Structure 1
Amino acid sequence: MILDRRQAIVTSSIFLPPFAKGVLGNLAISNCSDLICNYTPVSFREDIKLEDLFLYRGNTIPLDDVAQVVDPEPDLLMEGTYDDPLALKYFECLEKVLCAFPVRPSTGHIATSNQQEAGKWGQTVSVWPLGSSWAYVWPEDNEIFFPTKCKDQCDDSELALNQRLPDALHRNREVLFTSWFDDQQAVSLPKNFKSLRSAFLIIPSRFDAQLKVELQKRNYGLS
């Protein structure tokens, strides 16, 4: 059963600053917090602030710089992403279950509040979706999407769609997310950002404490 609040969470208008896609360079953490406070979904920041927990991914290429904007191709429907061949069947099943929604394996990426779990995939980095809208889904009955009790089947999984992110953060659940810029905002974006979907900022977890201080100073960009 899919528990759905709405198909997407839409936030106020945002405009991306004129930085180039790719490595941001040796930005101060204060610059990163400004980027987060101004160019990530408001509802995402509200929930992160509420729980005082970040979402993480394992970055396969270690970052030498403080931060980087990335827009990788979704890889959950690619062979070899998981070692288990049943994983592809599971995510193909999940794709069908979520076919009517913006977030699904073909459009999204997985993150988790569990740093240990994220670290299995590479360097642990906090994840900050970029966009004026975003959508997410997480499994109610398991910390991770795969493997599950049903192995390659997902039909019986209870999925929480666009709701209770604080609960997912607190329970160390994996979160499949996607974000995008609405057409109205895209008009004002730099050319190399107009087609971005599910782009996000990543910051090595070793900067977490500093980042939290800077975000708290700015109240996470919330009024």
Structure 2
Amino acid sequence: MSSRERILGRVRRALADVPPDDTPYEEAVPRPYLRRHGDRDVAATVDLLAANLADYRAVVHRSDTAGLPALIARLLAHRGSASVLVPTGLDPAWLADTDPGITRVEDRAESTPGELDRVDSVVTGCAVAIAETGTIVLDGSPDQGRRRITLIPDHHVCVVRVPDQVVSSVPEALERLIPTRPLTWISGPSATSDIELDRVEGVHGPRTLEVVLAEDGTG
């Protein structure tokens, strides 16, 4: 008997006396917890998101949709990026002002980790941003690309559409997300600490995370 068969056998025995019409698990346990904390309007929620992102050492920028291309171009130029990875579904207008000398790298299934590591920056959208935790969630949609393209390059510019993609709390975010998609939850740049609490950034993902809060936008 395999370990799998042994475990499933124990589960079946434990459920043997449960009537078929018993209350489903998701209904049997009351969950009267708060869905959000406080009563913030949209502006206050966005301000809280910006503050918590900065607290996690992300670099936060604010822009309107019209100014987004110029801002992204400026961020890549300031970084000195010679190449930028572009998801297939990213709005082309976002990179309209980018220096034509910067090589645009496509998100390709056959790209190796070594090839991605040589890319200077990546620009993506997001699925949702959570104000109370300062968390950006990616779900692999066309404007975000494969998970690995936001984990290997050292510089990630992530655009959050305000207010459409900003929620107050984790429960509100979960209602918008599809659990079967490849969800990546990002709270600041990648970092870890050793036993002496010396912080090292860039171990598990980008060393620098720049979040652009783009107002008015579906652009």
Structure 2 length normalisation: TM-score?
Answer: 0.24
**Larger RCO (alpha carbons 8 Å, 6+ apart):** 1
**Bigger radius of gyration, 1 or 2?**
2
